[in-house]
A = this chain, B = another copy of it.
Amino acid sequence: MNPQKTPSTSTPADCEILELISYNRELYDKYTATSVDTVFTHIKKDRVNWINVDGLNNQDIIEKIQSHFCLHSLLIDDVLSDQRPKAEEFDDYLFFTLKMLYRIDGTAIDYEQISFVLGKDYLISFQEKEGDWFDGFRERIRLDQGRVRKKQADYLLYRLIDIIVDNYYNVLDRIGDLIDETEETVYQNPSTRTFTRIQNLKKELIFLRKALFPLRDALSKIVKGESDFVKEENLRFFSDVYEHVIHLTDSLDTYKDLVSSLTDIHINAMNTKMNEVMKVLTVISTIFIPLTFIVGVYGMNFKHMPELDWTWGYYGVWGIMIVMVVGMLAFFRYKKWF
């Protein structure tokens, strides 16, 4: 009965979808298994038991967890289907679900739903995909860094949410950088590619909004102290994450305004370019169309055209035409067309 050795140092297998970390101030155990029943035997009353489930396809595991912890069927539905972030208090546990962000490449953001069930001495986390966002934090628990080993399961929940929300900052900062980059491009070269990029940024902000605003409400519910599963003393921590989420929604609004401003800039740059094209056409046409008329006049085959016989007629025509061109260029200069 000394599992401390093996699990905590075991090499992570590809197939590990179930993991239990069980700790208190003195002890720390980590078990990974694919059999739920094995895991349940290691849950200990006087410790914080963190059960992490990676991937939601294994019906069997989910059902066993449901029956072991008496989870409501609606809760399991919420874990398995796409939900808006929310906090819901049940009789024996608090349910919390939110979105985790993955920035993959370009402007596209990938989302994963992560759900938590917080009981008196346990925390279950359900992740859609295997992730390693929490690996660094697991190591901190093992090495007893920070406050976590001295606190209960509600503090653990706070830390996990905090890690997820911190990642939102990274994503928003990247979007902020993209907006700055695009702004520089758009002034110089307002192409369709730039416009597509602006629209994609806008789209990402729309989806981020859908993930962030309900999260704010969910956290607000906890911060107001409505939950029995978060201790009074730890409310300030949740309040801190709550403030961060509000800060993020502020930034979101700011970025939304900036992107909408980018669209204006793009449209203006397009128009400016178009105007330039039109001016070139107008200048060229306005200069040469009258000249072409003049040379056309002396291309007529009338028998009686006195000018044709003048010795200096040809040179006179050139003179008139040069005067006209100079006059028109002066007119355009006056109109500030170039």
Contact = CB atoms under 8 A, between A and B. Distances in A.
Interchain residue pairs A-B with the least CB separation, the first 5? A295-B296, A298-B300, A281-B282, A302-B314, A299-B299
A277 B279 contact: yes
A302 B308 contact: yes
Q: What is the copy number of this chain in the assembly? A: 5
A180 to B, nearest CB: 11
A253 B274 CA distance: 33
Contacts of A335: 276
B313 A302 contact: yes
Interface string A76-91: 0100000110100000
27 contacts: A74-B240, A199-B265, A206-B254, A206-B257, A213-B250, A263-B264, A267-B271, A271-B274, A274-B274, A277-B337, A278-B281, A281-B282, A281-B286, A284-B285, A284-B286, A284-B289, A288-B289, A288-B293, A292-B296, A296-B299, A299-B300, A302-B313, A302-B317, A303-B308, A303-B313, A304-B311, A304-B313
A240 B78 CA distance: 9
A64 interface: no
A279 B277 CA distance: 7
Given A192-B269, A281-B285, 6 more contacts: A203-B258, A210-B251, A214-B246, A288-B292, A302-B307, A302-B317
Contacts of A4: none
B282 A274 contact: no
A107 to B, nearest CB: 13
A229 interface: no
A271 B187 CA distance: 17
B264 A199 contact: yes
The size class of the interface chain A forms with chain B is 35 or more
A295 B300 CA distance: 6
B295 A199 contact: no
A207 interface: yes
A112 interface: no
A134 interface: no
A247 B86 CA distance: 11
Nearest to A309: B303
A251 B236 CA distance: 32
A290 to B, nearest CB: 5
A58 interface: no
A138 to B, nearest CB: 22
A307 B258 CA distance: 63
Contacts of A203: 258, 261
Contacts of A86: 243
A65 interface: no
A170 interface: no
Contacts of A207: 254
A113 to B, nearest CB: 12
Contacts of A293: 288, 291-292, 295
B192 A196 contact: no
Contacts of A305: 301, 314
A275 B275 contact: no
Interface in A197-239: 199, 202-203, 206-207, 209-210, 213-214, 236-237
A151 interface: no
